[in-house]
A = this chain, B = another copy of it.
Amino acid sequence: MTTIKDVAKLAGVSTATVSRVMNGTGYVNPSTKEKVNSAIKQLDYRPNDVARSLYKGKSKMIALFVPDIMNPFFPELARAVEDVTNQHGYTFILCNTDDDFEKEQTYLNALQQKSVDGIIIVSSTITKELVGKISTPIIALDRIIGSNISSVTVNNREGARQAVQHLKSVGCKRIAHICGPEHVSNTAKRLKGYLDEVKNEDWFLSSYIVPGEYNFETAVQATKKLLTDHTEIDGIFVWNDLMGIGALKGAEELGINVPDELSIIAFDGITVGETTTPSLSTMAQPIYDIGTQAAEMLLEQINNSGYKTKREEFTVQLIERQSTRKRG
């Protein structure tokens, strides 16, 4: 590998001068600058980032922790973060944590040891204590970790309310809710939103609330059980799109027509929701904007020493597709 020394030698100057030329720091005579630049070009020299990092204590790398890369929500998010960080000359690292505390810890250590400059975290298991011990800038995404960690979220409760309102508006009379995983904070929030809308209805039964897991197959089964136990159900608000697609499948397997006999709406707004038949109505999060915002906040926190904790909340938006339709 060619080093700064090689360049210095070829240009007939000291390594300090080469460094100055590269970084545009300090004064350097135009003619020697010329010589240095041509030496750089001639040798196709590229500085060693590791050496730089060692000196500076910074690596120009940013990481994103996601619980499940297989859920399309996260690739869409990752895409946004990647775009922003790349634009600013950072290298992007994606870490899949499975919402596993051990894995998160391992990653956190590894990244700190590599002088990663900042981390964006989507996690339900990580603790404020763990994060508090870390000096690396951190942003919480989609969920809130602690009061002194900046976060980017959406209005989950209000969004859930709107979802249920929409089901009512298309004529649903008995509306159920399939929940998300218990340990995820959004689960409680969306459940609250659902309850806001139904708890005073005379038809409401607590058994209309069914627990769910973070995956397709479980949602299929939960839906089938729900619809078998309660044949009167004509609307379901599902915790997220992935599970919503499972609900679609469950209904189909029971021979229940969506949307004629049953309306389904979910939450997230991932692209696959458009591709199903029927396509899935949803409360869409502005996924790309969320990722962008988080990345920008992180960069600000990295570069401004006087940064103060922020809390950003985005608004979800109803997207009506085929799985909910006005009934006559």
Contact = CB atoms under 8 A, between A and B. Distances in A.
Nearest to A90: B110
A310 interface: no
Contacts of A49: 110, 113-115
B59 A70 contact: no
A248 interface: yes
A78 interface: yes
A69 interface: yes
Nearest to A246: B275
A58 to B, nearest CB: 10
B275 A252 contact: no
Contacts of A74: 75
Interface stretch (A22-30, A91-99, A162-170, A173-181): A91-99
Interface residues of A, number: 48
Contacts of A115: 48-50
Interface in A74-113: 74-76, 78-79, 82, 86, 91-96, 106, 109-113
A51 interface: yes
A292 B315 CA distance: 40
A109 B69 contact: no
Chain A interface mostly:
helix
Name, among A50, A95, A106, the residue most crowded by chain B CB atoms within 10 Å (CB to CB): A50
Nearest to A51: B54
A110 B46 CA distance: 9
A111 to B, nearest CB: 7
A16 interface: no
A306 to B, nearest CB: 22
A31 to B, nearest CB: 28
Contacts of A48: 54, 113, 115
Contacts of A57: 1
A216 B276 CA distance: 11
A249 B273 CA distance: 12
Contact of A112 (B46, B51, B72, B271): B46
A184 interface: no
A228 interface: no
A121 B47 CA distance: 24
B91 A93 contact: yes
Contacts of A205: none
B50 A114 contact: yes
Nearest to A94: B94
B91 A111 contact: yes
A216 B46 contact: no
Nearest to A49: B113
A276 B54 CA distance: 50
Contact of A78 (B69, B93, B113): B69
13 contacts: A1-B57, A47-B113, A49-B114, A50-B59, A50-B114, A69-B75, A69-B79, A70-B271, A79-B96, A91-B114, A94-B94, A216-B271, A249-B275
